[in-house]
């Protein structure tokens, strides 16, 4: 996604910049997950590698599980990140990267997939 801070290594000094971006701006990308705040929610939005119309439940859940793993990795390696997100509730979704913007595809709400378009095909 164009214009977002892209973190390549969570152990680098750039992690401090990523935390600043999370707290004061549009968040950051790390391992194809866009971490950003929406009020008291930490949005963990996986970028869909598939065209949105080809995404199915299993792939969406897999992307969200991977995002949860990445979130846990960041918490474990960065005390500043862990402190910044401590009061936030994490929400997971899959979005379509449209280069200069994005579109919601599916979100996990109360352990249920909520599709933003007609449900998965096939």
Residues 90-100: tens digit of each pLDDT: 999 999 887 77
Q: Give the Cα separation of 118 and 122 in Å (integer).
A: 12
pLDDT of residue 99: 72
> Cβ distance 85 to 75 under 8 Å?
yes
Q: Which two tokens stand for residue 50?
A: 């598939």
- In this prediction, residue 54 has a pLDDT band, given cuts at 50, 70 and 90, of confident
Predicted confidence at residue 12, as pLDDT, reads 94
Annotated domain spans of the chain: 5-115
Lowest-pLDDT choice from 33-37, 53-57, 76-80, 83-87: 53-57
Tell which wins on pLDDT, 36 or 56.
Answer: 36
Which pLDDT does position 53 carry in this prediction? 61
- Average the pLDDT over 62-68 and give the result: 96
Which pLDDT value is given to residue 96?
87
């Amino acid at each position: 996604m164009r214009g977002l801070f892209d973190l390549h290594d969570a152990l680098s000094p750039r992690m401090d910049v990523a935390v600043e971006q999370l707290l004061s701006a549009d968040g950051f990308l790390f391992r194809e997950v866009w971490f950003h705040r929406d009020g008291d929610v930490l949005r963990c939005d996986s970028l869909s590698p598939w065209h949105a119309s080809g995404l199915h439940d299993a792939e969406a859940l897999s992307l969200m599980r991977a995002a949860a793993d990445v979130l846990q990795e960041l918490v474990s390696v960065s005390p500043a990140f862990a402190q910044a997100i401590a009061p936030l509730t994490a929400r997971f979704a899959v979005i379509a990267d449209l280069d200069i913007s994005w579109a919601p595809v599916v979100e996990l709400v109360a352990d249920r997939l909520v599709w933003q378009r007609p449900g998965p095909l096939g």
